[in-house]
Every structure is written in C-alpha cells, then in structure tokens.
Structure 1
Amino acid sequence: MDVLSDAVGAMRTGRPHSSRRDKWAPWGMRFEASEGAGFHVVLRGSAWLLPAEGEPVAVGPGDVVFLAHGRGHALASGPDVPLEEVRPGPDGRWPEPPPATRESAPDTVMLCGAYQLDRSRAHRLLTELPEVVHLPARVGAHRSLRAAVELLGMELEERRPGSEAIVTSLLDTLLLYILRAWWERDGAARPTGWSAALADPAVAAALRAIHGDPAHPWTVEELGAAGGLSRAAFARRFTTLVGEPPLAYLTWWRMTTAGRLLREKDLPLRQVAERAGYTSEFAFAKAFKRGYGVAPGQYRRRVP
C-alpha cells in the first residue's frame, strides 16, 4: 500500500479547486486563514509570497509554493503593495477572478488552488511540513510535478468537455507530486518524524502492512518481522520515528479508516467495524466515540 497516498486521503474532504489568475502590477491578494491547504504556481512573471509568519518569499516562473497549515497568507507583486482581501465562499471555494478587461498582456500569470482538509484527523506527515514549501523551478528537477502543472494550466486556460473531472484529478495528482518532491528534497534527510519513518526500511514496511490491512490483529512482533527486526528493536525505532508506539498508531489508523468509510461509503456499521478491525459493533462504537467525540451514526449524519 502507498502510505503517502493514504496519509493525504485520511484528511482530504470535499473537492479541490483551482483557478488561473492574470495580474497587472501593482497587485496584492490576502487569503484569510482556513481549514484547507493552498498552493500557488507562477506560470509567467513573478510574485512575492507573504506568509503569516516568517520572511517574504520571492516566487519566480515555474516555482510552486504549498501552504499546508491554512494560517493565512498574501501574494503580491511586491512586499509593500496594498492587499485586497480574498474570502472563500460557503463551500470553501475561493471566488473566481473577474474577466480580464485589459488589452495588454498580464505581468504575472498564476495558478491558485486549495484543498479542503479535516484538521481533526490531521496526519503527522502533513503537520510536520514547514509553514511554506517552496519548490523552485530547476532544469530537470521534479519533472512529474512540472508535467502536472502544465496540464492543469492548459485545462484552466481553456475549459473543454470533461475539464471539471480532469481538473479535479489533476489537483489530487498535483498534491501528491508536491509532497513527494518535498519529501525527496528535504523530508527523507530528517533524523526523526514521519518523513524519516518513510525512509526507514523497517518502519516503512510495518506502515505498509498496517495500511494494507488495518483489520488484521497485528502484534508488535509481527510488525517487527515485516521489517526484519526483533520486537524490542522495532518498537524502539518505530516509536522514535513515528512519535507513538506501533499499536497506538494502529488504533489511530483504524479509527481514521472508519471515519473515511463513514464519510464516503454507505456501508452498514457492522461492515465499517469489521474493516476497522473490530468483531464487535459495540466495541467499535465505543472506540470510535473515544476518538471522535461522537458515535459513528452521529458522525455520519453530520458529515456534509
């Protein structure tokens, strides 16, 4: 199983969205804090990213910036330009830009988008990301990411039959390419944390086992054997890198899996319980309420 894809899917909700924005200097946009994560790609020209905390970041042609924590930020033609507030609608979507009326070519062309996230089930892989992930354009670097950006830009520039479904799929793909690019560049070199866990063969093998079959009655010894380590050595390494013991993570992932099934599938609670590793629906409901604060049925009814 692909643990990176699972980590993203665990907290993704709703549909992602994106738009192309043509800007003539001077210009500035302030995006308020939200539950989601945002990204910007400069296709032509340049911009300054002004994060909620930290120094301004110069963004050039082909650069990708990703803001995982939804703390609010601004984007402008210069660090001191007045900012226009951009507020999301009731569905969490950022408003579409007004039609361009100028005859001259824009100074800057960007792709801006956002993903809706369930922060209550935030996976540590995303919470460990820095305030700003900046992936500068470099020849030969992140070719898959560049290809996804180019395709997305083409679809947003000229809407054609099937564009809505294509854009949604490309946005999901783009998020994974952004995270993979950051992980390959920075994350795998970290001494501890989830990024380091994915780079550790023994811990990564155990994570794949858990994600591949969360309903299995895993023991620490079995998970250690999947990575070729003794029970004690594996437990120490897993806890150091992941931040919690193996069986604690197993329980967390089972509950996360159950929440996703309740959101996305119309399955009887008995089947949800079984897929989450519980033979008793009562035991599952008790564990779910402990993790989410509400009973499974209530959770399903309140999910939009």
Structure 2
Amino acid sequence: MDVLSDVVAVTRTGRPRSAHVRWHAPWGQEFASVPGSAGFQVILQGSCWLLPPHAEPIQLGTGDVVFLPHGSGHTLADSPESLATAPACGPDDHQPYDAYASDSVDRSGGGGPVTVVLCGAYQLDPSRTHPLLLTLPDLIHLPAHPGRHPELRSAVRLLAAELESPHLGTDAIVPALLDTLLLYILRIWFKERPDRGGITGWAAALNDPPVTAALHAIHRDPATPWTVAKLAAEGGLSRAPFARRFALLVGQPPLGYLTWWRMTTAARLLRASDAPLRTIAAQVGYTSEFAFANAFKRTHGTAPGGYRRSNSPAAYGR
C-alpha cells in the first residue's frame, strides 16, 4: 500500500457515520468537539455559514467541502446571527454525529431557503495516529471550483445518492465511499495546499520524489532489511543527502520511521489476527521473536502477547 492509503487503514477504527441533512432557514446546528474523530461537511445545495469557536465565520456555498481532522467543535447556520440548537452529539457519545447515522434527515426550521449538507465523521484511534494526520490544521476548507477535483465531486455525488435513496448494498457501499471521500480530501490537501512549497512537513515530504519513493518502499514491504543506503537508492540519492532530506521533511530519521511503522503494523496484525508471534515478527522484519518483543515493548509499553489480549474483541465485549 502507499503511504496515504496506509494512514487511513491504520488510523481509522469502527464504522464511519454520515447523513444527508436538509435544513430550512432560519436554522443553526452546533456540532460538539469529539476528540478521537475526524468530521466533514459538504454543501450539496444552497449556502450556509461555518462558525468556528475561535475564528471568523466562513461562508460556504454549493460544492464546498470542510474537513475537521481533529474533531473540532463548530456550528453550521443559515446566518451568523441564527441561534444554534443543542449539539448533534456530545463528547461522551461513542459514535460521533450519532444523530446522523448513515441516513437522510429533514430538519425543519422555518419556511426559508433550503440548505442540504452531507455530514459525518470517522472514528480514529489516538494510540496509532499517523504523524501525517497530526500535522493537519483544525479545519480544511476546499472551496468548490468548476472543473476542479472531479474525482472528489464524483465521490460526493455517489455518497449523497446512497444516503438519500438507500438500496440493496447501501450498508456496504457507504463506508467504502466515506473512505474514498477521506482519501480524496487528503490527497487534494497535500498536493495543493498553498504553503506546500515550505521546506518541512508531510506536505513537502509527499511532494518530494526521493522521500516519497523511500516512504512507499517502507510501506510496501516493511519486512525488507532496509538500511539508510538501500532507502537512499530507492530515492535515487546518496546516503548522507538522503538521510538529511528525509529527517528534515518527515521529522525523524529514516530508520526511526521504519521502526515506528513496523511496530504500528505489528500492532494492527496482533489486533486483527491469531497469527503466532514469530509469524508477525517475520512480517515486520524481525528474524528473532525475542528482538521483536523487545522492540514492541519499547514502542507500546507492553509485550506483544499482553497487547493482543487487551486489544482483542473480547476485551471490548464485541
């Protein structure tokens, strides 16, 4: 898998939630802060205002996409002066945006203009959040531009259609489309963000061919006995310039990131399979089960066996 696909696969947990919501002006809806989630709002029809708690209001129009990577609280309203209703969810809810659980909802306000919004959230596991996501701002606004981002618009249209008129297979289609929507949003942000020309950060790393080639190699096959020289060769650079470049953009040395990714992958395998520890050790590049267990404990604070027991479905009553 490539880096961005792995980020979503590893970090997201549970079932994403979404809804097709129709509001009639005047209206206002507060969305509570939900740590451990990422939310989105897509304006399908009409216009409204996004009211962040500590920033200026943002006017949104048809086709605009708003992504909140850290589950920040916010309000949507037909006007900055409109009163908002109670939050659609609370910090203690197990499912973000639970009031909008993969459904089509009509929120009658007054008799004014209609605004239709596609809204929802993803649950994220803070214990395995990729550093790429940690660098994202609290709010990403992708304004609609005719002819731009056709793949994102196609995913939005398909998702909106499934939520507005569910059919056989909708329960399987919606989560897949939500993952697609998330990946398109992240792809666009890291490719087109205004300050991506900066010298550091994941936006720069994912637009730097030598570093991206090394990252893809690590994610494609973490079991390979990678050295800095081998990773440099993947990127077409000599060892020392590559190591400096990688550390500057990614925020840690190549082998430091390799170890972190191996341990993140191992944790996922321990949760998802009953494979013996020696098999998982080999899958992440360790010929010795003892060396693997020591590395895992240094990263996660517990031995692989204990981690598996405490993160099994039975441990959560599932």
**TM-score, L = length of structure 2:** 0.89
TM-fit CA distance, 1:260 = 1.6
CA distance in 2, matches of 1:15, 1:123: 19
Residues in 2 aligned to 1:105 and 1:260: alpha-carbon distance in whole angstroms: 49
CA RMSD of aligned residues (A): 2.1
Matched residue, 1:207: 215
Among candidates 205, 216, 225, match of residue 217 of structure 1: 225
Q: Give the structure 1 partner of residue 27 of structure 2.
A: 27
Indicate the larger mover: 122-131 or 251-260: 122-131
CA shift in 2, pair 1:100/1:67, >3 Å: closer
Tell me the distance in 2 between the aligned counterparts of 1:52 and 1:266.
45
Aligned to 2:40, what secondary structure does the other structure show?
strand
Pairwise mapping of residues 7-22 of structure 1 onto structure 2 (< 5 A)?
7-22=7-22
Q: CA deviation at 1:158?
A: 0.6
- The DSSP-based 3-state class of the residue aligned with 2:248 is helix
* Corresponding residue of 1:131: 138
Q: Is the 8 A contact 1:188 1:198 kept in 2?
A: no
- Paired residue for 1:247? 255
Deviations 1:167-212 (A, max 9, x none): 0110010000111111221164332111111111111111111111
1:65 matched to which residue of 2?
A: 66
Residue aligning to 2:236: 228
Greater displacement, 137-146 / 199-208: 199-208
Residue 193 of structure 1: aligned partner: 201
Q: 1:90 — aligned with what?
A: 94
Q: Pick closer, same or farther for the CA change 1:53–1:257 going to 2, 3 Å.
A: farther
1:3 — aligned with what? 3
- The unaligned stretches of length 5 or more in structure 1 are none
The residue that corresponds to 1:299 in the other structure is 307
For 1:106 and 1:265, the matched residues in 2 are separated by 51
Task: State the alpha-carbon separation in 2 of the partners of residues 156 and 285 from structure 1.
Answer: 45
Q: Could you tell me how far apart the structure 2 residues matched to 1:132 and 1:295 are?
A: 37
Q: Which ranges in structure 2 are unaligned for 5 or more consecutive residues?
A: none
Query: Corresponding residue for 2:183?
Result: 176
Partner of 2:138, secondary structure, is coil
2:174 corresponds to = 167
Query: How many angstroms does 1:101 deviate by?
Result: 8.0
280-289 or 37-46, which moves further after superposition? Answer: 280-289
The within-5 A match list for 1:134-145 is 134-145=141-152
- In 1, the alpha carbon distance for the partners of 2:106 and 2:217 equals 51
Please report how far the alpha carbon of residue 104 of structure 1 lies from its aligned counterpart in structure 2 after TM superposition.
6.4
Cα distance in 2 for residues equivalent to 1:101 and 1:240? 49
Maintained 8 Å contact 1:45/1:61: yes
Counterpart-to-counterpart distance in 1, 2:107 and 2:259: 55
Question: What is the CA-CA distance between 1:229 and the residue it aligns to?
Answer: 1.1
Instruction: Report how many residues are paired.
Output: 304
Task: Determine helix, strand or coil for the equivalent of 1:112.
Answer: strand
| Whole-angstrom CA distance in 2 between matches of 1:270 and 1:285 | 10
Question: How many angstroms does 1:98 deviate by?
Answer: 8.8
Deviation at 1:254, TM superposition (A): 0.5
What SS does the corresponding residue of 1:38 show, helix, strand or coil? strand
Name the CA distance, whole Å, in 2 between partners of 1:62 and 1:99: 19
Whole-Å Cα distance in 2 between the matches of residues 214 and 14 of structure 1? 25
| Alpha-carbon distance in 2 for matches of 1:152, 1:300 | 35
Q: Is the 8 A contact 2:15 2:122 kept in 1?
A: yes
Q: In 2, are the aligned partners of 1:48 and 1:77 still within 8 Å (CA)?
A: yes
Shift of 1:106: 6.2
